Amino acid sequence: MAGHSHFANIQHKKAKLDAKRGKVWTKVARMIIQAARAGGGDVDGNASLRLAVEKAKDANMPRDTIERAIKKGTGELEGESLEEMIYEGYGPNGVAIMCKILTDNRNRTAPEVKKIFERAGGSLAGPNSVAWMFNQKGLFIIPAVNTTEENLMNIALEAGADDVQNMGNSFEVTCAPDALQNLKNSLQAAGIKFESADLSMVPQNYVVLNDADTAQKVIRLVEALDDHDDVQNVSANFDIPDDIMAKINV
């Protein structure tokens, strides 16, 4: 799972930078609006909304901004009309990429995302071209200094985790989507701090990138996609060996 861990950690690092300049607030606010629109404004009774609100809190979004986004979703306040879509495509070396989109104008978003792919030597593909390569799972990234593998294994598997992978500097824990909250509660109760906890599209198989230039191009592509205001989440199936990862800038 090294490739996904590299990708997850790259995304997490970027999210911290985005949070500093407020960019993440726009994306999280849209996530809250969409979750409240789909499942109501009760945080306790709407798992998607609860996850979005927790993300907002992690990004230090003010409480009144969170509440305003919820009210826009429930219709108590006027809000933008958002459409949720999945864009699929290929990057350099055949890397499969999925983008979750929330947009108020698909006629604007589609050509912009298409251009990002093409500039990096990739291309958009049709529906279900790559989706079958991914499974939705809860994904936790936990720094190795925060726990031992044995301790984490005992707690995580008891709480419903599917797998615990030792990635060297961190542990990667996956679980079924409906086990995410219970696993999060168990880790917090045990005092195990995690860097990130989110629903993610986890690849079934990986494309190994043994060339530093290609690896750099793929990383730049997924970062450019992730930087687009309408892109909520990016998933990709690349695996970068440690010796190649050490040669590139992320």
Query: Given pLDDT bands bounded at 50, 70 and 90, which one contains residue 3?
Result: very low
Over range 223-234, report the average pLDDT.
90
Q: What is the pLDDT of residues 60-77, one digit of tens each?
A: 888 999 999 999 999 898
- Report the CATH number at residue 8: 1.10.10.200
Domain presence at residue 34: yes
How far apart are the C-alpha atoms of 86 and 108, rounded to whole Å?
15
Residue 66 lies in a domain: yes
Structural domains in the chain (count):
1
Pairwise CA distance, residues 172 & 187, whole Å = 13
Average predicted confidence (pLDDT) for the chain: 87
Residue 26's pLDDT is 86
Task: State how far the Cα of 168 lies from the Cα of 166, in Å rounded to an integer.
Answer: 6
Per-residue pLDDT, 53:
92
Q: Give the pLDDT band of residue 40 (cuts 50, 70, 90).
A: very high
pLDDT in tens, 80-109: 788 999 999 999 999 999 999 999 999 999
Evaluate whether residue 170 is within a structural domain.
no
Please report the beta strands in the chain, taking only residues with DSSP state E, as ranges in sequence order: 83-90, 96-103, 123-125, 134-143, 161-166, 170-175, 196-203, 207-208, 231-236, 238-239
Answer yes or no: is pLDDT of 196 > 90: no
Q: Per-residue confidence at 33, pLDDT binned at 50, 70, 90?
A: very high
User: Residue 190 pLDDT > 90, yes or no?
Assistant: yes
Q: Does residue 57 register a pLDDT over 50?
A: yes
Residue 199 and residue 8: Cα distance in Å, rounded? Answer: 11
Q: Does the residue 59 lie in any domain? A: yes
Does 8 map to a domain? yes
Please report, rounded to a whole number, the percentage of residues in the chain having pLDDT higher than 90: 60
Q: Are 225 and 173 in contact (CB under 8 A)?
A: no
Range(s) of the domain holding residue 9:
2-74
Mean pLDDT of 167-196: 91
Residue 105 lies in a domain: no
Would 9 be classed as within a structural domain?
Answer: yes
Can you read off the two tokens belonging to residue 130? Answer: 């790559």
Most confident segment among 57-61, 144-148, 201-205: 144-148
